[in-house]
Amino acid sequence: MSRPVVVVTRRLPEAIEQELAERFDVRLNRNDTPLSPVALAEAMKSADALLCTVTDRITAQHFSVPGRRARVLANFGVGVNHIDLDAARAAGVMVTNTPDVLTDDTADVAIGLMLMTMRRLSEGERHARTGAWSGWRPTHMLGRSLTGKRLGIVGYGRIGRAVARRAASAFGMQVQWWAPREPTIHDEATAGPANAQRAQSFEELLRSSDVVSLHCPATPETYHLMNEHTMSLMLPDAVLINTSRGNVIDEHALVHVLRERIIGGAGLDVYEFEPTVLPDLRDFETVVLLPHLGSATVETRHAMGRRAMHNLELALAGEAPPDRVA
């Protein structure tokens, strides 16, 4: 009996590619370049399933391609805003993602960005590396402590709550959060700190937080949630952290508020025009820029691969995968 054909759109850890090859007739992307829209359309015609990533923009046209064979898209990652889910549902194509397994590592990066921006660590590293440092002195490159500051978390899902736990336990930060709905918590171990408070409104959270950390999905409602108006509500010394999705921030507006010193700084791991980073953002010493490293650990990328593989196996066998989103 022939095995299902699975196209893997980007290179995955070697161990995961080997496990995929043992289970499926797998077609790997050896050169690791993003597939073009035409190549994605061909994959939809030639494969039973795609194991895709955030770099693959899968549109309604891909689901309506003549001769489409693919019936499952297993996304390597949590966010699925790069997939037209309505078109997938209309075409009867199942879509899954990989929640839970990247929570801790992404939360760690958010905390790292807070430290780097507030304590000016990235700026200091450049200062030492370029030979500009002339020695210790009491007033040199003073930052701000995280300890005891107020953290405002926008979006209180698994990752937002993991950030809250770290911030409260490690730095004694006062945590407040805002989300349009109460979070669904299946396990008390994933809850936020007991003393975290829900802000009366999104605007009130912005007005009263020393650090604003974004952990909301990319939806029409969150597109440019952080714009010139909402960022102008932030405290003058506050920093903005984004490990969620790039288009939650209007980056041109972010450049303006940084240039006008309306906010104190920003730490970004995702970008509105990813992989392009606005040149103006690169010019600010008060901005820390990371190349989308949120889940980039060996442990998490292996766990994501195995979670996607499990979803594929069940879906292609006609069973219900645990992480179905469409």
Catalytic sites, residue numbers: 245, 274, 292
Contact 84/60 with Cβ under 8 angstroms? Answer: yes
Residues in contact with 219: Cβ distance below 8 Å, sequence separation at least 6, in sequence order:
81
- Nearest of 88, 1, 97, 72 to residue 318 by alpha carbon: 72
Q: Could you give the CA distance from residue 44 to residue 294 in angstroms, rounded to a whole number? A: 29
Sequential DSSP letters for 90-142: HHT-EEE---STTHHHHHHHHHHHHHHHHTTHHHHHHHHHTT------TTTT-
β-pairing, 72-75 vs 49-52, is: parallel
Side-by-side strand order, sheet with 211-214: 197-198, 174-178, 150-154, 211-214, 239-242, 265-268, 287-289
Q: Could you give the CA distance from residue 143 to residue 168 in angstroms, rounded to a whole number? A: 20
Task: Label residue 109 exposed, middle or buried (CB < 10 Å: 0-12, 13-18, 19+).
Answer: buried
Q: Could you give the CA distance from residue 186 to residue 76 in angstroms, rounded to a whole number? A: 23
